[in-house]
Amino acid sequence: MNKIVISILLTMTISMGLMFLCTTISKTMTMDREKMTPFECGFDPKSSARSPFSLQFFLIAILFLIFDIEIAIILPMIITMKTSNIMSWALTMTTFMVILIIGLYYEWKNGMLEWTF
């Protein structure tokens, strides 16, 4: 118990010391208006530096990530089918697939899968 307390105190001391050292050594950055503006060959920018982000693209990207993660979950379930109880495996797989199908139906009915509104 004594070794754990000493190691925690040593870790905290080293990390606090490094944080203090980094803040004192680091160069202070002043927020100058001229330095914070975008640079375009010495001229004022013609358009906004921030372009509008497509919400439809974001939704499609989120759907892709969700289905990609689902595939990563389903593939190991196929491998574990040989070593697990077939009834519990089938119940788990069926529940997982039903939840996915309900989620897909919900997104389809709310119009989240359509590219243009």
Q: What range does the domain containing 72 cover? A: 55-109
- What single DSSP character describes residue 112? T
Answer whether residue 40 is part of any domain.
Answer: no
Cα dihedral angle (90, 93, 99, 102), rounded to 10 degrees? -70
Give the three-class secondary structure for 37: coil
Answer whether residue 37 is part of any domain.
Answer: no
Give yes or no: residues 24 and 61 share one domain.
no
Answer whether residue 13 is part of any domain.
Answer: yes
Give yes or no: residues 16 and 60 share one domain.
no
Answer whether residue 44 is part of any domain.
Answer: no
- Tens of pLDDT, residues 26-47: 766 556 666 666 665 666 656 6
Residue 83's Cβ-side half-sphere holds a number of Cα atoms within 13 Å equal to 4
With 0.85 as the threshold, say if the pTM is over it.
no
Give yes or no: residues 20 and 65 share one domain.
no
- Tens of pLDDT, residues 91-113: 988 998 898 889 888 888 887 77
- What single DSSP character describes residue 1? -
DSSP letters spanning 44-94: PPSS-SSPPPPHHHHHHHHHHHHHHHHHHHHHHHHHTTTTS-HHHHHHHHH
Domain count, the chain: 2
pLDDT of residue 66: 82
Answer whether residue 45 is part of any domain.
Answer: no
Answer whether residue 95 is part of any domain.
Answer: yes
Give yes or no: residues 63 and 17 share one domain.
no
Answer whether residue 42 is part of any domain.
Answer: no
Answer whether residue 66 is part of any domain.
Answer: yes
Instruction: Give the amino acid at 57.
Output: F
- Tens of pLDDT, residues 45-95: 566 656 677 777 787 788 888 888 888 888 888 888 888 888 988 898 899
Give yes or no: residues 59 and 105 share one domain.
yes
